[in-house]
Structures are given as structure tokens and as C-alpha cells.
Structure 1
Amino acid sequence: MPAAFIDHVRKFVPLNDAEASILLEFVEVATVKKKELLVKEGRVCTGNYFVLKGCLRSYFLNEAKAEQITQFAIENWWLSDYMSYETGKPASFSIQAIEPTEVLIVRRDMQDEMFQKLPQMERYFRIIIQKAYAASQMRIRYIYGMTGKERYLHFSNLFPEFIQRIPQYMLASYLGFSAEFLSKIRAGKY
């Protein structure tokens, strides 16, 4: 499976076979069970997770102690609590497997050495983070600028693979409304 990761990196930066071998020295592969936590809110996040197979979610507990999902990650996507990862402070988000998942992990204590030995990886992560930040900005715009039904239709058109993989209540949380409201949208009652 790490071959899929190397292929992904090569879409963004040059990486010869010797460099690919060096890169694989800085990552580890882990299997995560469905519902298993990789990061727990309040504990330090020490890993940046690349999904080789499966699906992850990032969430926090709001003032009503309800889960508020902020991100999903499927194959070839990264997920972390970046503030915690970079500062070493407690995580503001939990990261959990939605289905059995295989991840590749870049540990924080290995990242700088990886960047020293493979400078192109800093460029790779800059590109990936910029894309993720742009997606976050657009998500904020959609939350404030679209109705709930428009957000659902937009999301289902952009990411049809998620509709089948993610439980309805999680999708509703991510889109910012109740599971009941989502049921009405899907049934054509709204």
C-alpha cells in the first residue's frame, strides 16, 4: 500500500526511487478498527494521517456535548489536528475511523528530519495544506451562503462516494443540520 502513497506524492513533486525509499523510512503504516480513535480531543496529536484505505472523520464536542464533524478523509487524503501537531498542545479535535482504515503516519518528531533529507516534501506538504485550506474556506462560504438543501445537493454532487460510505447522522453533522432534516431532504419533503 505505501506504493499508492509514493504515487500520490509524485503527482505533486519529483521523487526518484532512492528518495522514495528514504521517504518510506519516515512513515509507518497502521490499521485502525472501525470507531477506533487515532486522536482524542484534549490529548496531543503526534501524527499526520494519510488514508491508504478507509475513511476517517475529525470532530469536536460542542457546548451541548454533541459531535460536530469538521472533516472527512478518504483514500489519498490527509487528516490531523494541525494546531496540536505543530504546537504540541492538546488537540481540539478527535480523529476516528468510520470504517476499517489503513493509514500511513508521519510522526511530528520525524517531520523535520524528513524535510532535511527530502526538501521536496516541504513543497509537497505546502501544496497539500494550501488545497486543504482552500477547501475549508469554500466550506465556510457554503455554510453561510447556502441553504441546508443547497449544501446537501452541492456536497452530493461533488462527493457522491461519501453519500454511500458515511452514516446519515455524520453527514448531517458535517453539513450543519440535523439527521431528521437530512431525511426530509432525501425524501423530497424539503
Structure 2
Amino acid sequence: MFEILKNNISRYIDLSDEEFQRFSEPFKLETFKKKDVVLKEGEYCLFEGFVVNGCFKVYFLTEDGFEQTLYFAIENWWITDIDSLINNVPSTLNIEALEDSEVLMILKKDKELLYETMPKVEKLFRIMNQQSSVALQRRILSLMNKTADKRYLEFLEKYPTLEQRLTQQQVASYLGISHEFLSKIRKKTILGNR
């Protein structure tokens, strides 16, 4: 279980076996059943979670009460509400398990202690936050500049195995369209590939 975490962070920093042992010590394995809520809007987010297996949706509710998915998190991804975590404000996001899942959770206070005792960890999370910022910027630009058809094709290209794990409603929520409109796009895409 910790091997997947070690492989993930080794893309950013090198830790000796001893350093990784110190790094991984505060992480606790949590299991979630499908539909379990990990974080609810209005709560304070005190954790970051590394998805060992399973799938989560990170979403918010619009003023009209519609669900808008910010992102999905599958194996090797992280879940949190970074605004709530860093600024100690109530969460605007909800995090829900879409499958039975396992997550390695680290509390904010434990992560802060790692920063103080292991400078490499601060570098790790700085790099990861930078990459997350880039991904969110690209997502915003895609939502603002691309048609729904192009966003759907981009989603399929970027996450080729994810659609099979999601309902059509969940994919539509991520794309910012109705599931009826997504049905039309999918039909058009299938016909275009014949």
C-alpha cells in the first residue's frame, strides 16, 4: 500500500528508505464505502489524502443546487479542499467516494511537522501544488474556450479509462453540461468514428 505512495512521490523527490519511513509514518489508511462522504461543504478540511485505490468526486453545489464536479480522483491522485486546508475556512467542496476506496490520509498538523523536520517534503508539496495549479488553469481555460464536444474528447483523451468508472451524469457534471446534451455528443462521436 505504501509502495504506490513511494512511487508517486519519487517522480518529484528522492528519499532514502529511512527518509521515506519517516515521511510515511503519519499517514493512516482509511477505507471508504461507495457513497461515503469524506468532506462536506461547511466542514473544515484538516487532511490531504492519497488515493491508493478507488475513485472520488470533488464537487460543489451551484446556487441553483446543481452539482458541478471540479475533478475526479483515482489511484495515485490526491484529495483535499486546499482553500479550507491552507486558510482554515469552511470547505466549499464536497468529497464523495464513487467506489469502495482506500486512502492514505495525513493531517495538516502532521504535514506541517514534516515540513519542519524534512525540507524535502516541503519541496515535494510545492512541486505538487504547482502542477495542480497548472492543471486547474488548463481546466478553466478549457471550460471558457472550448465547445462541449471538444471538452468531451479532451476528457476521453486525458483520462481514457475513467469514463467506464463513472455515470453519464458524473461525466456531464465534470464537463459543465446536462447529461442529455452529453448523450447527443456521445452519439455524434460514435457516429463520427464509424
SS at match of 2:161: helix
Where do 5+ consecutive residues of structure 1 fail to align? none
Percent identity over paired residues = 37
Distance in 2, matches of 1:50 and 1:57, equals: 14
**Alpha-carbon distance, 1:74 to partner:** 0.9
Q: Kindly provide the amino acid, as one letter, of the partner of residue 182 in structure 2.
A: L
**Alpha-carbon distance, 1:188 to partner:** 1.6
SS at match of 1:160: coil
Where do 5+ consecutive residues of structure 2 fail to align? none
1:106-157, Cα deviation, whole Å (9 max, x unpaired):
1012111111222111111111111111011111111111111111011111
SS at match of 1:106: strand
Tell whether 2:136 aligns with 1:113.
no
Which position in structure 2 is the counterpart of 1:64? 64
SS at match of 1:161: coil
Q: Kindly provide the amino acid, as one letter, of the partner of residue 45 in structure 1.
A: C
Distance in 1, matches of 2:64 and 2:26, equals: 40
Distance in 2, matches of 1:116 and 1:165, equals: 39
Which position in structure 2 is the counterpart of 1:158? 158
Distance in 1, matches of 2:8 and 2:158, equals: 21
Matches within 5 A, 1:95-134: 95-134=95-134
Which position in structure 1 is the counterpart of 2:28? 28
**Alpha-carbon distance, 1:14 to partner:** 1.1
Cα RMSD for the two superposed structures = 1.3
**Alpha-carbon distance, 1:185 to partner:** 1.0
**Alpha-carbon distance, 1:87 to partner:** 2.0
Matches within 5 A, 1:15-94: 15-94=15-94
SS at match of 2:162: helix
Distance in 2, matches of 1:54 and 1:104, equals: 12
Give aligned pairs, total. 190
**Alpha-carbon distance, 1:47 to partner:** 0.8
**Alpha-carbon distance, 1:81 to partner:** 0.4
SS at match of 1:105: strand
Distance in 2, matches of 1:109 and 1:159, equals: 33
TM-score normalised per structure 2: 0.94
**Alpha-carbon distance, 1:166 to partner:** 1.4
